[in-house]
Amino acid sequence: MEYLLEVEGLRKSFGGVAALSDGRLQLRAGSVHALCGGNGAGKSTFLKILMGIHMRDGGSIRRRGMEVAYSTPAEALAAGIAIIEQELSPVPHMTVAENIYLGREPSGRFSGIDFKTMNRNAQALLDRLGFNVRPSQLMMNLSVAQVQLVEIAKALSHNAEVIFMDEPTSAIGEKEAQHLFEAVKRLKTEGKGIVYVSHRLSEIFQIANSYTVFRDGSYVGSGNLADIDRPGLIRMIVGRELGDEYIKTNAPSVVPGIEVSGLTAPGKIDDVSFTACKGEILGIYGLMGSGRSEIFNCLFGLDPTSRGRISVDGRNITIAKPSDAMAHGIAFVTEDRKLTGLNLTGSVRSNICMASLPELSPRLNMNRRMEADASRQMVERFDIKAARDTMPVSGLSGGNQQKVVLGKWFHRKPKILLLDEPTRGVDVGAKREIYRIICEFAEEGGTVVMISSEIDEVLGMSDRIMVMRRGRSAGIYNREQSNAQSLVHLST
């Protein structure tokens, strides 16, 4: 039996760190193949090598039995391999047809574009796929799901035979997802091979025939989905038992640190309530778009709320802007440090001091010694590795950058720490240090609320876990009651 695509022993390292050490995949025509794995399992590196974005260090890729090597996405596309990325990149002010045929417009008289033929071809393509999109619509007026469909149509207009879909449902609703699945089924009956990447296991069981699991950059196993049940697949993805990566030293008290009830922001979160006690780490688990980060944005005064009560230390408070939240002892380590956490052109010192300048310098003239002291304290406390604290923070590794963000907030001596993906893009060593910092903070009586999409991390660090699903809380569970299976199950 000839495979549409067969990959063996694919390897790739970045700066001495292996991102992928043994990537394997076998894709049959007329099938949907689920590629599963946690964050950092090597899935995206794998896809990028196949698309010719990264060069492989080793391994073989066979397309219909022929050994191939693509050095650009254009070559991969020409060989019938297309990818629909998680982050879509349409040209918003162009029509659907213009987007589909971007760079390949049929030419008309006087070397202009033959819009008539283009629209007719696009219409035929969309009809064949059963997509309810008109070629003359502007991309900017389409929903995210419709944009996904156009991307699929674009891939097929290149006569793609192998289609990678990377988390296609992460930004769309349930109903739109069902439309997408219809399209996927139609492609399957046309004999295409689809590699479907998703964290949502219920989807995988709904549309895929077979699966491959990666973990820590390596192939773990593969098979037919008919032969495995959901807990079995989760066990393969999560793998090892939780080792001593998470050393919990904190002991939760029964004194509430922050109480939230009925927090609502229209279209984002609906009626979210929880209490986190002093000395406790409350984990929040949920998929992208489940409303997990929006809770923090509301608590910190970045997003407006329509309803809800927040109390700190038993007293009701109102938060209209971040400085209100900060005045009540709340600190917020945001999800994306480069986007919202750090001033990358600024120095380590200026970043550490950024949130506490009024305290550092009550008078008009800055007290530079206090700034330098504050920075030195945090650099020492968190062991931030920087040549000088006056060097730009952009020159630091991800882990050290994250510690600068933590330093910025810890210098304020917060009572409540909101952490959104505190270890994203951070290597294992720095991760451990960050866990230690979080635990010590809770040990000393601080209140921690931590969002994470890494199951291991949520289970390993939290005393209790709130699961978010579609903007609502799906319940709060004790650490002892929960396991990977139950969290994934509740969140999807």
Partner 1 sequence: MSTENSSLSTWFGSEQRKLIIQEYGIFVAFLLLALVLSISNEYFLTAGNISNVLLQTSINGILAIGMTFVILTRGIDLSVGSVVALAGIVSASFATTSSTAGVPGAPYPALLALPVGLLVGIACGAIVGIIVSRFAVPAFVATLGMLSAARGMTLLYGGGRPVPALTPEFRWIGTGNILGIPMPVVLLAIVFLVSWWVLNRTRFGRYIYAVGGNPHAAVTSGINVSRLRLSVYVISGGLAGLAGMLLSARTGSALPQAGISYELDAIAAVVIGGTSLSGGVGRITGTLVGALIIGVMNNGLDLMGVQSYYQQVLKGALIVGAVMLDQKRNQGV
The residues that touch partner 1, with contacts defined as CB under 8 A, are 300, 302, 321-323, 325-326, 332, 334, 339-346, 350, 353-355, 357-358, 361, 364-366, 368, 387, 392, 394-395, 408
For residue 395 the two structure tokens come to 């020159």
Minimum CB distance to partner 1 smaller for 307 or for 368: 368
Indicate the residue among 107 and 318 with the shorter CB distance to partner 1.
318
Q: How far apart are alpha carbons 93 and 205 in whole angstroms? A: 37
Report yes or no: 366 and 359 within 8 Å, Cβ to Cβ.
Answer: no
Tokens representing residue 127 in the block: 């009809």
Q: How far is the CB of 134 from partner 1 (least distance, A)?
A: 32
Token pair in block for residue 303: 């997003």
Question: What interhelical angle do 144-157 and 115-129 show, nearest 10?
Answer: 110
Closer residue to partner 1 in complex, CB, 18/302: 302
Rounded to an integer, what is the distance from CA 299 to the centroid of its chain?
21
Closest CA to 448 of 291, 286, 333: 333
Identity of the residue, 333 or 439, whose beta carbon is nearer to partner 1 in the bound complex: 333
- Would you give the DSSP letter of residue 387? S
For partner 1, the closer of residues 159 and 340 by Cβ is: 340
Residue closer to partner 1 (CB basis): 29 or 370: 370
Q: Which two three-digit tokens encode residue 369?
A: 């010694």
Structure tokens belonging to residue 442: 């809770």
Instruction: Tokens for 77, please give them.
Output: 């596309």
Kindly state the smallest distance separating residue 404's Cβ from partner 1, in Å.
Answer: 11
Minimum CB separation from partner 1 for residue 419, in Å?
13
Rounded distance between C-alpha atoms, residue 72 and residue 55, angstroms:
9
Nearer to partner 1, 109 or 363 (CB): 363
Nearer to partner 1, 37 or 341 (CB): 341
Q: Which is nearer to partner 1, 53 or 370 (CB)?
A: 370
Name the minimum Å distance from CB 21 to partner 1. Answer: 23
Asked if 446 and 439 touch (Cβ cutoff 8 Å), the reply is: no
Short-list 452, 462, 460, 465, CA closest to 426: 452
Strand partners, 26: 6
CB of 353 to partner 1, least distance (A): 7
Q: Whose Cβ is closer to partner 1: residue 277's or residue 360's?
A: 360
Tell me the closest approach of the beta carbon of residue 327 to partner 1, in angstroms.
Answer: 9
**Residue 187 in contact with residue 133, Cβ under 8 Å?**
no
> CA 94, 98, 103, 109: dihedral to nearest 10 degrees?
-120
H/E element, 372: helix 368-381
- Rg of the chain over CA atoms, in angstroms? 25
CB of 348 to partner 1, least distance (A): 13
- Which residues in 48-156 belong to E strands, given as ranges? 58-63, 66-67, 81-84
Compute the least distance from the CB of residue 322 to partner 1, in Å: 4
CB of 325 to partner 1, least distance (A): 8
What region, left, alpha or beta, does residue 224 occupy, with left being phi > 0 and alpha being psi -120 to 50 degrees?
Answer: beta
- Closest distance of CB 150 from partner 1, Å: 30
